[in-house]
Structure 1
């Protein structure tokens, strides 16, 4: 059961990173088009700023959720590493529980933000403003799930390894 959950969440996190990367590429292209339009064509597209901001909310939120699963967020572990293994174990459980609680807060209050802004339209895009913020509760739910998985893995004694980029070593 735990292995199946780990495979599913790892698969999901990999796709979240891919989607976030595509959003970053799309936002870069849109901003590039805006700059080209402004300085070369003397006519900047009206939709480009809001489209790039909406994409940014989505790709940052999704990548942050993947970061919880894969453990590639920046964190300071000097205190944790200075502690005995038993204390480290409980510190990891506490920190993942706090991250999960933050994910639940994003789910709840991000969901409220979506509901309250859904009726407002982004004029230059013609889309509901709530759609721009929908990534917040989705990523919050995923952060809570990924944190729960990390807590379960820590409790059963098979903690997930943090993803480490070999270029940082």
Structure 2
């Protein structure tokens, strides 16, 4: 499970980095088109927004595994080890439940909006919401890895350790 988790996290981060670079290039092209060529491409803004959904959600999923998401640990750190571990498991279970809800809700959103087209891109609007479902599943998977690690008294090692 750990090897698969590391692979999925690494792929999510690479995909997010590629999306961020792509969005930066598109926005740069839009600025050049608007201010230097006096003709901005109509598709640039929608393409950047489309990519933003993808790379932010995959980075957020990787953040659950890697532990670079926002969290408050003051109470958890002040507890005895058995209580700290129990609270950590509960917190990861809540995050996992959120991921499953995100998967379900994202899947419903994809289904409901698939027939609507993004005019300037010619792509189904539902395609922009696919990362909600995938990232939710990844979040649930990474939360499960953390739960299993806590139960066996070990830590999930981040990619950069």
TM-score of the aligned structures, taking structure 2 as reference length: 0.96
Which blocks of at least 5 consecutive residues in structure 1 are unaligned? none
Q: Deviations over 1:64-84 (max 9, x none)?
A: 111111111121211111111
**Is 1:137 aligned to 2:133, yes or no?**
yes
What is the match of residue 83 of structure 1? 79
What is the match of residue 60 of structure 1? 56
After superposition, where does 1:28-39 map in structure 2 within 5 Å?
28-39=24-35
Does the CA-based 8 Å contact 2:6-2:159 persist in structure 1?
no
Q: Tell me by how many angstroms 1:161 deviates.
A: 4.0
3-state SS, counterpart of residue 134 of structure 1: helix
**Is 1:124 aligned to 2:125, yes or no?**
no
Aligned partners of 1:149, 1:83: CA distance in 2, in Å?
22
**Is 1:11 aligned to 2:3, yes or no?**
no
Q: Count matched residues.
A: 161
Q: Tell me by how many angstroms 1:38 deviates.
A: 0.8
Q: Tell me by how many angstroms 1:148 deviates.
A: 0.8
Aligned partners of 2:124, 2:38: CA distance in 1, in Å?
29
Does the CA-based 8 Å contact 1:24-1:59 persist in structure 2?
yes
Q: Deviations over 1:42-93 (max 9, x none)?
A: 1110000110001000000111111111111121211111111111101110
Does the CA-based 8 Å contact 2:95-2:143 persist in structure 1?
yes
CA RMSD of aligned residues (A): 1.4
What is the match of residue 38 of structure 2? 42
Aligned partners of 1:163, 1:138: CA distance in 2, in Å?
21
Aligned partners of 1:74, 1:99: CA distance in 2, in Å?
12
Which blocks of at least 5 consecutive residues in structure 2 are unaligned? none
